Amino acid sequence: MADEKKYQDDELLDYGDDDEVTTEKAAVAETKKGHYVGIHSAGFKDFLLKPECLRAVVDCGFEHPSEVQHECIPQAVLGMDIICQAKSGMGKTAVFVLATLHQLEPVANQISVIVLCHTRELAFQIAHEYERFSKYLPDVKTAVFFGGVPIVQNRETLKNTPPHILVGTPGRVLGLLKEKTLKLDKVKHFVMDECDKLLDSVDMRRDVQDIFKATPHDKQVMLFSATLSKEIRPVCRKFCQDPMEIYVDDETKLTLHGLQQYFIKLQESEKNRKLNDLLDALEFNQVVIFVSKKNRARELNRLLNECNFPAICITAELAQEERIKRYKSFKEFQKRILVTTDLFGRGMDIERVNIVINYDFPNDSDQYLHRVGRAGRFGTKGLSISFISSNEDSDMLAKVQSRFEVNIPELPDQIDISTYMILGEEFSFGCAGMAAAPLLLAGAHEQCAKYLDRLTEAPRLASYCVTEVGVGSDVAGIKTKAEKVGDAFVLNGTKMWITNGGVAD
């Protein structure tokens, strides 16, 4: 496991700049709208997960299962085939990670679980989730394989530290399979994440089918995506045996609870000035700005940095080492603004992001959903603002509103911060223990002063956020005593994790 852990820090990602998809219907289980709350062992104990998984769940700060977790996990742990559509940020990854870890009985030199996804970023992230949830399963080894890394590294991993769980992209996995370095004849669980992307392209679908044929007939198959159109669902069913189909929210109502959505009509030439004004006016933890082309992303990032905004740009053509460096810089909160293409439109989970700006409006309604889903993850609060600068943009905005049955109004002159940021009182007394909730205290010292002295009153407080000047300082007359212990602080006698502008788990 130690050898494999290096991928968390040293490797990443590839992605084509532009992607999209479609899919079909047969809802066996259709559930109502809900929203994601944190997580604590109480709700998850009902799933009868093995104790090691429950301990990891608690450590991750989870309190109550989300809607999709409540629907899927009880069936998944029994080995049922699953087809699941649920909107972004609802915890689909945790469903198959926990279900497979619960059932896994590691056997030396045997891969029991294979997870396929369409991008390196997503593979990297899923493998990281397996590491988090297998924290108390020391015998379980996870490996992640994708292109852009010398294949010899994958061969060495398979030879020296063969994994029980393999996460990868179809091209690299199939390459290892064809050269007979990789054997999948003992696989018991076959998972596809963002399955519509895997199956929509004929070439990628062929690769997936070839990999699928190399696995035993008798296995559990689970397919997940945020968007499954009526056209792709029959394709998904061909991989399964009598699957349970779960569609959380009607496909026309894939809204994101807690996310405030607005648009601004303007000329193309006005975008830079308006973006500058927004970044000056809005309170945010982290922002993702989506543009249509790589060269536009690079140029916009240059302009933002010239205006002294802490921006970073990630696009597909960067060398892998540079992409790793930039990705980590943003994820670890060293940079607060990310400029990117649809590279980050799917599956990527940066918990502190609470604002998404569509500098260029997407050309597909599904991609709009995936983009804005980067904010307000897990049903927490967030804000999306879309620039509309052409008739095509206006038409697509109308399609988005029609398809998802949502009204997206024009951005008002003033926005109540509490509609897109979780403030101190809400957090301390309404969301205590929620991991990855965006919290506004940076730049609002009166909020810090108002709630800092009440931290110890929150009975299940798992994490909190104060400004850099608030930690251990005299804020508005409230004395605080902070002692740093590793990455944690003991603040007024209570241990908690503290970051600038976000919540750490």
pLDDT tens by residue, 397-450: 999 988 777 889 999 998 888 777 765 433 332 232 333 333 333 333 333 433
Among 285, 117, 328, 332, smallest CA distance to 204 is for 117
Which pLDDT value is given to residue 107?
95
- pLDDT tens digits along 211-231: 999 999 999 999 999 888 888
- Please compute the mean of the pLDDT values over residues 287-316 and round it to a whole number: 92
User: Which residue has better confidence, 383 or 502?
Assistant: 383
Which pLDDT value is given to residue 471?
35
Are 310 and 284 in contact by the 8 Å Cβ rule? The answer is no
* Fold agreement (2-8+79-249, 259-419): yes
pTM of the model: 0.55
Read off the pLDDT band of 358 (50, 70, 90): very high
Supply the DSSP string of 75-110, one letter for each residue.
HHTTT--EEEE--TTS-HHHHHHHHHHHH----TT-
- Please compute the mean of the pLDDT values over residues 470-475 and round it to a whole number: 32
Structure tokens at 431: 């969301």
Instruction: Look at the chain and count its residues.
Output: 505
**Geometric angle at alpha carbon 478, from 474 and 480, rounded to 5°:** 65
Write down the H helix ranges in 433-475.
445-452
Q: Which residue has the tokens 């989870």?
A: 62
Cα gap 436→380, rounded to integer Å: 9
- Return the axis-axis angle of helices 92-103 and 67-76, rounded to nearest 10°: 20
- Please compute the mean of the pLDDT values over residues 161-186 and round it to a whole number: 96
Instruction: Please tell me the least confidently modeled range out of 37-51, 186-200, 400-414, 447-461.
Output: 447-461
Among 258, 256, 274, smallest CA distance to 266 is for 274
Cross-sheet strand order for the sheet of 353-358 = 259-265, 382-388, 353-358, 286-290, 337-340, 311-314
Which pLDDT value is given to residue 46?
78
Which pLDDT value is given to residue 344?
62
CB under 8 Å to 112, separation ≥6 — which residues? 100, 104, 105, 106, 164, 165, 186, 187, 188, 189
Among 108, 106, 174, 184, smallest CA distance to 145 is for 174
Cα gap 77→379, rounded to integer Å: 24
Which pLDDT value is given to residue 346?
57
Domain residue extents for the chain: 2-8+79-249, 259-419, 424-499
Q: Is the pLDDT of residue 370 over 50?
A: yes
Measured CA to CA in angstroms, residue 250 lies from 346, 389, 400, 403 at distances of 20, 30, 15, 11
Task: Name the phi and psi angles at 426, rounded to 5.
Answer: -55, -45
Class (C level, CATH) for 2-8+79-249: alpha beta
Q: Is the pLDDT of residue 13 over 50?
A: no
Which pLDDT value is given to residue 487?
40
Beta bridge partners of 328: none
Read off the pLDDT band of 353 (50, 70, 90): confident
Among 374, 394, 415, 382, smallest CA distance to 278 is for 415
Which pLDDT value is given to residue 502?
33
User: Which residue has better confidence, 365 or 348?
Assistant: 365
CATH number for the region 259-419 comes to: 3.40.50.300
C-alpha distance across the termini of the chain, in Å: 22
Burial class (CB in 10 A: 0-12, 13-18, 19+), 401: middle
Q: How are beta strands 463-465 and 494-499 bridged, if at all?
A: parallel
Q: What percent of the chain has pLDDT over 70?
A: 69
